[in-house]
Structure 1
Amino acid sequence: MNCVLRLETLWKAKQLAGIKDFGIKALQINLQPTSSRVIPSCCATSGVKGNTRNVSRPDKRRYRGWKVIDGDHVHNGYLLAKQIHSFRWYPGANVVAGRRRTLTATCSGTIRFTKEIFIPGRFTKDATVAAKLPRGALLYKTFINIVPDKDVGRFRLVEQI
């Protein structure tokens, strides 16, 4: 809290102005000499504070999900899918999983979605899921693959090499 001493006499103001320890260079106060009391008065440092709870505000949009469909043409570094908690789409050929399981293209080409049979390891979490399924049931996983473009016009003659 910032407290300011309000002086009610010109005599006290002149006394304080002479003291160099307070760092006062020039103090001009036009007060009438009524008494020699010093009254402390406090000034507000900030205005009215608001409520800090934003209960009714909707959550920030995450923009999760796949960004391409089967048959789309993508370039190197293109974002294919965003997923947070677990893999829904797995990286296939020419696809890399980045931070938070974000799938990114590593080369230019055409997108292909494939479903492949998944055989879990013996002591994995997926093995407990597979044990609860009826005998003969198969687990499938969806992979996002990129079929690279053919290199057309990127050749050199043997004599130039």
Structure 2
Amino acid sequence: MNFIIQNVKLGLLTGSEILTNSVRYASKKAKSSTRNSSPKTRPKHRGWKVQDGHTVHAGHILATQRNLRFHPGLNVGLGKNGTLFAIIPGKVLVTCEKADLNWEHTWVQRCYGHRQGTEFYKKYFNVIPEPQHQNFKLVDQI
């Protein structure tokens, strides 16, 4: 390399010789960036777990959520992490109703505090119990 620099100073090399002798290689490969480059994050699979009209048992998870997107209706409980679950066995019924919220609940205050005093509609999960058979007999009759 020292020889080439000295010859260039003297002007002894032609233009084509300079181009062939002075090739520079990249020290690192060029890499493009991606938005989802972290392969260790797994999807959470939030949302509806049971569709309208399906039969569920007590304790069955109906929906998972981060914000209060779905609301508990008849015979449905709300977990600490926003999970909706069935309290009794029965058939699932999803309705769109005017929101009648418990404004003391922390989730309601966080999600709908700015809407207090206004009228809006939300999806409610309800569990309708299955009708029981009517084949009961009194113990005295048996």
TM-score (norm 2): 0.58
Partner secondary structure for residue 81 of structure 2: helix
1:129 aligns with 2:115: yes
Partner of 1:64: 46
- Which one scores higher on RCO, CA 8 angstroms, separation ≥ 6? 2
Structure with higher helix content? 2
- Which contiguous aligned blocks of 4+ residues in structure 1 show a shift greater than 2 angstroms? 118-121, 124-131, 153-156
Of 70, 76, 85 in structure 2, the residue corresponding to residue 104 of structure 1 is: 85
Q: What is the alpha-carbon distance in structure 2 between the residues aligned to residue 154 and residue 63 of structure 1?
A: 43
Structure with higher strand content? 1
Partner of 2:64: 82
Q: Which ranges of structure 1 fall in alignment gaps of 5 or more residues?
A: 1-54
Distance 1:160 1:92, change over 3 A: farther
Deviation at 1:58, TM superposition (A): 4.2
Q: Which ranges of structure 2 fall in alignment gaps of 5 or more residues?
A: 1-36, 104-108
CA RMSD of aligned residues (A): 2.7
Larger radius of gyration: 1
Q: What is the alpha-carbon distance in structure 2 between the residues aligned to residue 154 and residue 99 of structure 1?
A: 40
**May I ask how many residue pairs the two structures share in their alignment?**
99
Q: What is the alpha-carbon distance in structure 1 between the residues aligned to residue 40 and residue 131 of structure 2?
A: 47
